[in-house]
Amino acid sequence: MIRVGFTASRRVGGAVARNRAKRRLRAAVAHVMPGHAKAGHDYVVIARAATLQRGFADLRRDLETALTRIDEKLSRIDKKEIAD
């Protein structure tokens, strides 16, 4: 099971802006996570002020890049634990 949490601080803007940012991130996660997320892991997606102005394709690409980087780091940690 994949669990995803969303957060947006007041730096993003007022309540309307924060909710809009989280809606955009939820939509991006719905497209990206099924193919990139690992089962059994929990994810937290943090909205930034730029989330509101960034194009949706860019948000998706950013999320894919972040998940790829996380996967690479986890792979290195797993290999290190096996070697020890």
The per-residue pLDDT string of the chain (84 residues; one tens digit each, 9 = 90 and over) reads 889 999 999 999 999 999 999 999 999 999 999 888 888 889 999 999 999 999 999 999 999 999 999 988 888 887 776 766
pTM summary value: 0.84
Kindly list the domain boundaries of the chain, sorted by start residue: 3-83
> Which residues contact residue 30 at a Cβ distance below 8 angstroms, ignoring those fewer than 6 apart?
none
User: What is 3-83's CATH number?
Assistant: 3.30.230.10
